[in-house]
Structure 1
């Protein structure tokens, strides 16, 4: 959208990032000397906090950095063929030009030579196939595309735009039994391993297998762990906006509510402080709750959905290694929930310094993360986009493009061939690195874990869900109930919470040594 008459942009819901909000605001007042205006329309109460934090970050010029990719070799391979089509190139001259781009400023000679070999003969495993001999030097030493057919195919693939695909969810079976249930984000299914369960369309399903772009499932037994699916995972809360939110909560803790948004949010934050505590900077707030569903743990790292999914999976994996336990997970941009039907003394686990260090520690972080999130499957699916950009997979002619299923089948074949016969293929390494840096955000996850280790722990045993915990419960219920039942359930839960909020504070009992809260233990909180 780039129209001069646009006077104001309405941002429905949070933009989840400061730079993203400014970019969208810039679509109004699009002329020299004109003012850009944006109005944020929150979709729930806590987005008032995000709105106040966004204003604070903009005024402080705390804007997210635009980080350049690190040596994307698939793009370089495509560029080599493109330049060869445009008159050819001399390798030494082109290398100096390529290193002038920030992303390739430290491109190693070995990586450059590998790319030249890849476009010339397809690398060690594809030498026998003429269609991968895309560029060759002529008698003058200039590298050109020698085949007109390969040149036409490449021109139709220049500037490839990749995006996340959807996967079909189908019952495992034959004939009429193999019913299609719907579609789900590929990035979600790729994180699951065979036997994992998830909620979909009100059904608890167990993943049987994944073939190309279809996830085969069967009904799971009641009480099994469930991971709710979620959409929009490509825009998690940014670190800059999260930091500004914690500063707003710091001000709220000290009784400062300057902005209109924080003034409207004051009653909710007062209730959070009354029932639990505010998750301010320097404080790791852990809330535990016992319910008919089991034992809940709520944490609030304020690190975005993807990082919270990684932390939740990591904690479940590490706790499960010490004792048999089954967990369901729910995440949003503010925090995460772990639910276990078996008793888990989260207060004791987190209060024990060596135990907490093991849970949030950086030791073998990559190994535990890869094991808990099925990173091998993620890498194979990431490789599909790399294969498209690098020209390994032809996407089809205009009007007859290949489907995502066909592209996945073709790229999956290359992935397996390279793994078996060319394990040092640099495109494989790129796929694994992009999964860690982009899909799992391992750098941001490691920073979040380091901050959690440094924060002072505050454990609260809840008698009922706190205002910050309530959205996490709804996140999990969203897939468990139909729309009508979910609305009724939420309204009933809200009525119960509002009655509890209007009730007087709990009576404090006198004990030797001073006052203690009426709810001080998990057992008392469950009553």
Structure 2
């Protein structure tokens, strides 16, 4: 597919050349093949994905939808639209480009269905909604290409399930369209090729690898004093971070949680003596606030932006000089993705700094640097497609047109995540979509499908189509409360459980401001600005866990004293004292230490399997200890370790960690805990059993929770094998408890446990013991100053001379 004069001239005026992978993408398109491009950030990846479409449209003008671009973020689609329109205008190409998301006006959405642009930029959720309209068949009939950007960001999860199902429907409408996936951080391209391909045939996808770029310049920012024993915010380094902001034109400071982003912004502002323009960006802020920050960054009006994963992906701000990661990166792929926001030019190194929050996080940061240098990426684990997502998709297609069961099953099975669905499972799922299932079918509100009189199914009432489109979506947030000024201006949302802890006169930090609560009206927090000290909101949800490959590298450090030479003195002293007092486990071994401290017996183990798996194991082991009469008092978990304290000494930890705990205690614990009800609430919303909103009215989080809890109790009693209970169990096992890593942990414990009975606390135990009494399951953003005070006393006991 040769480039015509407008394209060659456009490249020449910029002093650019067509890179090898861009030329390969043109050749692959000319052969009509699907493609997966894996290329470094700054390599012109997005342009490579669009170039075949632009060349084809320039040569063969059309008034139909030619290319669909799908991204994980609305902001990314808007950024790509801006970056495409410029070159199209400069080359004088008559190609129309528009984006479509939840932020698009209703008038524009309606017009797009009847008169779509040549290139439409959207998200998985908006694409699913488009497919729910009868005119989707005409809209997509001439589709030639679907480009999926940052494919790694959603393919292994529920949003990927929804997108894969949408691709199966698009294939039924336009059988010959090409599928193109783009990413910078894929460890196993074959996995993604299978997900991308029709019928999961990875051989149908051509892998294109990008030209290598300059190696990134990544450094660890060490404190002026010692690396802290505990904490994870890195707030001790705010003066150093502020100095970096002053040195650079533009800096992005990434934080792993929204609460931490608010905290770091507040701390930076306190030391911003030069009054440099700094902003904050995260998913709970109002859309206008996020867009203002994005526009200011794009126009070069900000010196720094404090952000969360909301800006991990793809936004092309070429003038960002440096990226700073506050706290541990948790994975080499995530670190590379964030580093890629700096410079955004392939031939120049991106600069990044990591600010570790504590000594284990220092080891993790060092492991991430080594992994990046070795070209090692974090592997993703694909699981079977979720049933609640499939139920939502079936309802969307029913809103578009009647369907026959066998035909729809055959179509769905072309989507890789749903190859496992057979006629029996699909029959059960169709029964749920039709009338809610056996225990609910007598209620009219759950009757959504009816026979169409021709052997197929249709929606039972036209109003259900509008209801579906109003409530569809995969992302189910925790119940939220709006934060508003008295004049009605909305700042964003905090979670209802946090709002419930506030009373008039309380203060909290949000959107970069200190706010005082004036009054609380239903789900609105009415606030005013204040200069009084403020709390940081905490947010629910699973945490980012250290990746398996980084955990393996950290274990490698512990077992290899020769690697300690480049560590700071205080970190090296910590490990050397641990080797003298106890032992440092080798890779594959599970170290368990027991010791008395302040009249209580402690058991600390070091699995390095991440907070979610450790939290689950702590619950299970504590329950087993109760039955054994060991009188446990509590436990605390970090990404690296679990500490359990009890009135009686544990002398045989092997008995507490055997693999049967997953079959015996696990099922009982999940049944009795909040986990299953929490998972059911999400699958009930996604599956369409519970509606979040009606025209002009949105249910509060409490109302949704009350409704789902009632239905959960009914199904558990009268239909325990209900499809949604099955889906909730799958979520509770995999997502909320990280059962796969939990299983790996127990397998390792079975044959490699090292038990050390000590007379006092060990140096390795200090970072996790500091958390006792200072961290809740829901509030991970702990006050580092309090942790530091507690750590000093524990460290004195652990590090003092023999």
Counterpart of 1:312 in structure 2 is 618
**Alpha-carbon separation, structure 1, partners of 2:404 and 2:719:** 27
Kindly indicate whether the alpha-carbon contact (under 8 Å) linking 1:298 and 1:338 is maintained by their aligned counterparts in 2.
yes
Counterpart of 2:639 in structure 1 is 333
Question: What are the Cα deviations for residues 279-317 of structure 1, in whole angstroms up to 9, with x where unaligned?
Answer: 332443232222224111111111111222222223222
1:484/1:61 CA distance change after superposition, 3 Å: closer
Counterpart of 1:425 in structure 2 is 722
Gaps of 5+ in 1: 168-181, 187-212, 214-228, 351-355, 507-527
SS in 1 for 2:659: coil
Kindly indicate whether the alpha-carbon contact (under 8 Å) linking 2:632 and 2:644 is maintained by their aligned counterparts in 1.
no
Is 1:245 aligned with 2:554?
yes
Kindly indicate whether the alpha-carbon contact (under 8 Å) linking 1:275 and 1:462 is maintained by their aligned counterparts in 2.
no
Counterpart of 1:25 in structure 2 is 339
**Alpha-carbon separation, structure 2, partners of 1:387 and 1:33:** 49
Aligned-residue offset at 1:142: 4.6
The answer to which of 67-76 and 230-239 deviates more is: 230-239
Counterpart of 1:92 in structure 2 is 406
Counterpart of 1:289 in structure 2 is 595
Question: What are the Cα deviations for residues 242-269 of structure 1, in whole angstroms up to 9, with x where unaligned?
Answer: 11111122222xx2336x4567732222
Counterpart of 2:771 in structure 1 is 475
Counterpart of 2:417 in structure 1 is 103
Aligned-residue offset at 1:184: 6.5
* Matched ranges for 1:417-496 at <5 A: 417-463=714-760, 465-478=761-774, 487=785, 490-491=788-789, 494=792
- TM-score, length of structure 2 as denominator length: 0.50
Is 1:343 aligned with 2:648?
yes
Kindly indicate whether the alpha-carbon contact (under 8 Å) linking 2:324 and 2:354 is maintained by their aligned counterparts in 1.
yes
**Alpha-carbon separation, structure 2, partners of 1:430 and 1:275:** 47
Aligned-residue offset at 1:470: 1.2
**Alpha-carbon separation, structure 1, partners of 2:345 and 2:589:** 45
Is 1:275 aligned with 2:585?
no
SS in 2 for 1:21: helix
**Alpha-carbon separation, structure 1, partners of 2:499 and 2:555:** 31
Counterpart of 1:514 in structure 2 is none
Question: What are the Cα deviations for residues 24-68 of structure 1, in whole angstroms up to 9, with x where unaligned?
Answer: 223333356565443211122221100111123334444333333
Question: What are the Cα deviations for residues 451-497 of structure 1, in whole angstroms up to 9, with x where unaligned?
Answer: 1222152404143x3332112221014259xx999957843752674
1:274/1:373 CA distance change after superposition, 3 Å: farther
Aligned-residue offset at 1:406: 0.4
Counterpart of 2:429 in structure 1 is 115
**Alpha-carbon separation, structure 2, partners of 1:143 and 1:101:** 21
1:129/1:427 CA distance change after superposition, 3 Å: same
**Alpha-carbon separation, structure 1, partners of 2:615 and 2:580:** 28
SS in 1 for 2:545: coil
**Alpha-carbon separation, structure 1, partners of 2:398 and 2:742:** 41
Aligned-residue offset at 1:165: 4.8
Counterpart of 1:363 in structure 2 is 660
Kindly indicate whether the alpha-carbon contact (under 8 Å) linking 2:592 and 2:753 is maintained by their aligned counterparts in 1.
no
* Matched ranges for 1:185-200 at <5 A: none
The answer to which of 56-65 and 300-309 deviates more is: 56-65
SS in 1 for 2:379: coil
SS in 2 for 1:273: helix
Kindly indicate whether the alpha-carbon contact (under 8 Å) linking 1:282 and 1:456 is maintained by their aligned counterparts in 2.
no
Length, aligned pairs only? 434
**Alpha-carbon separation, structure 1, partners of 2:499 and 2:617:** 20
**Alpha-carbon separation, structure 1, partners of 2:782 and 2:336:** 37
1:410/1:458 CA distance change after superposition, 3 Å: closer
Kindly indicate whether the alpha-carbon contact (under 8 Å) linking 2:658 and 2:746 is maintained by their aligned counterparts in 1.
yes
**Alpha-carbon separation, structure 2, partners of 1:66 and 1:493:** 35
